[in-house]
Amino acid sequence: MSNVKTFTNGFIKENPVFILLLGLCPTLGVTTSAINGLGMGLATTFVLFMANMVVSMVKKGIPDKVRIPAYIVIIASFVTIVDLAMAAYAFDLHRSLGLFIPLIVVNCVVLGRAEAFASKNNVVSSMVDGLGMGLGFTFALTLLGAVRELLGSNAIFNIKLVEADGMIVFVLAPGAFIALAYLIALMNKLSKK
């Protein structure tokens, strides 16, 4: 498989949110705004990229019986780096994302890519896969956050577009499900063309 195809799979054919329906907990939980979606997506992208790279490098040295726990330790190391860096340099975003940052450790997208791709492919392909999947995840979270923020508060990236009340349901949990359902339907329709 070429690296270009590996990279674009995360956006189109195997988008973690819109096609594979993975990582829905942070997807629904943090996407009350576009900036939250972008921040969570980029944090996950960093972890995916680094974890895929390291797993691909050390895969032959990890016994099968401890493969998954070893991957989780690798992932947790990079999540800790992201968590501490965000706390130091993007405190407002860190506070807004809250518990969802440490939960990247158990995100199905990250562990799934380590197990399904990085453990079976070379380092460069694994890094490209991590970057593609991560950016596809970032795109999905940012798009969902933008839709919810636009409909819920008439703003995008915290910039008020209209001085009027939005539809509050889109800022709340039910709005996440409604917006995600329509975006998945739209992506399915576009992918069939």
The pTM for the full model equals: 0.93
Quick check: 190 pLDDT over 90?
Answer: no
Label residue 193 by pLDDT band (50, 70, 90). low
- pLDDT of 9-41, one tens digit each? 888 788 899 988 888 988 999 999 999 999 999
* Domain count along the chain: 1
Name the E strands within the chain.
155-156, 159-160
Label residue 103 by pLDDT band (50, 70, 90). very high
Q: How confident is the model at residue 10, as a pLDDT? A: 82
**Using N-to-C axis directions, what is the helix angle for 67-89 and 34-58, rounded to 10°?**
140
Quick check: 101 pLDDT over 70?
Answer: yes
Please give the residue range of the domain that contains residue 170: 3-191
CB–CB of 109/44 below 8 Å?
Answer: yes
Of 5, 45, 49, 31, the C-alpha closest to 141 is 31
More confident residue, 188 or 43: 43
- pLDDT of 50-76, one tens digit each? 999 999 999 999 999 999 999 999 999
- pLDDT of 136-166, one tens digit each? 999 999 999 999 999 999 999 988 988 888 8
